[in-house]
Structure 1
């Protein structure tokens, strides 16, 4: 999900006045990835010990967070990271193309190799893992949008489409990786609880 920023560094008013600057910048930290975000202000006025700036424009977008803690595949993680890099610089076509590539890597991670067209690969993946209709539609939409992003003769991917695509990718990662991991952990907790109860029951009673 999109995250905010924290102000780290502001212009020195003495230097702004000395050099007669009318444009300044400030450095913020992305609260998600902890990396710097540089924001420029095109109208800066020095007054006393302060610098008053307005008309801000962002040099780099805040990088969104898509948690991949339960993703073990290095290829899937790499593709997701590259997709997010594209998103952060508003490269919507590149973002869509890499989301499509991520889906292919997810299929490959589940032993559905990409020897045919991506649509066939995704169809085999959904059949093998008995995914519901909603998941099938999500995968289809991601694949189609990524196809648009990769081919100049097709509609370009807009910011609005990219934002929807990001939400779709979050849901795919949640259902394919996060839910199975949580279910596995829950089952293990119950097995451990049953085992602990049995061991307690078999302990001799103190005289």
Structure 2
């Protein structure tokens, strides 16, 4: 099949907005003439997974956004490796010292934040998946693992940044309401 075209892309247009929709087709059979048989259509639009960045510090957000960029183009190993980087950014942001051993940073961060063993295990799973994504001799990261990995990173950032930030925001808004002059 190396001397034949294996895939090609056709653009269709959306019925509602007329924007182009690129579709990649696998060439199943081609006899060199006018007859071509295709199957396995795949939409090539890049879609980014939503992520709640409320109260997430910029240095952590930057790493996670780059990881999500990898995920959006199905670069699952790159996504996993950047999730590991995100863990290091979180650890550094929360006071763990810089180290070439991510596990040491994770342990230091867990101790500093007072999180329990379940959160340590969650963070270590993110780290291990990141190792897999970064090293070709380790297991590949596919869509199934990347989906779980995204969920774990979302849970961790929500626990460490978003939830505490929203609690502070709620307290601040209550204080503003208390201090607001009452209508007469």
| TM-score of the two chains, using structure 1 as the length reference | 0.68
Report the counterpart of residue 64 of structure 1 in structure 2.
49
Structure 1 residues 90 and 180, CA gap change in structure 2 (3 angstroms): same
Name the larger-Rg structure: 1
DSSP 3-state at the match of 2:151: helix
Pairwise CA RMSD of aligned residues?
Answer: 2.8
Question: Structure 2 CA distance, aligned partners of 1:114 and 1:59?
Answer: 39
Gaps of 5+ in 2: 1-7, 15-19, 28-38
| TM-score of the two chains, using structure 2 as the length reference | 0.75
Report the counterpart of residue 113 of structure 2 in structure 1.
129
Equivalenced residue count is: 162
User: Which among 81, 84, 87 is matched to residue 65 of structure 2?
Assistant: 81
Structure scoring higher RCO (CA < 8 A, sep ≥ 6) equals 2
Matches of residues 103-114 of structure 1 in structure 2 within 5 Å?
103-114=87-98
Report the counterpart of residue 160 of structure 1 in structure 2.
144
DSSP 3-state at the match of 2:41: strand
Structure 1 residues 57 and 68, CA gap change in structure 2 (3 angstroms): same
Mean Cα deviation higher: 79-88 or 59-68: 59-68
Q: 1:26-62: per-residue Cα shift (whole Å, max 9, x none)?
A: 367xxxxxxx86334679xxxxxxxxxx853122442
Question: Structure 2 CA distance, aligned partners of 1:129 and 1:152?
Answer: 33
Report the counterpart of residue 145 of structure 1 in structure 2.
129
Report the counterpart of residue 17 of structure 2 in structure 1.
none
Question: Structure 1 CA distance, aligned partners of 2:21 and 2:113?
Answer: 41
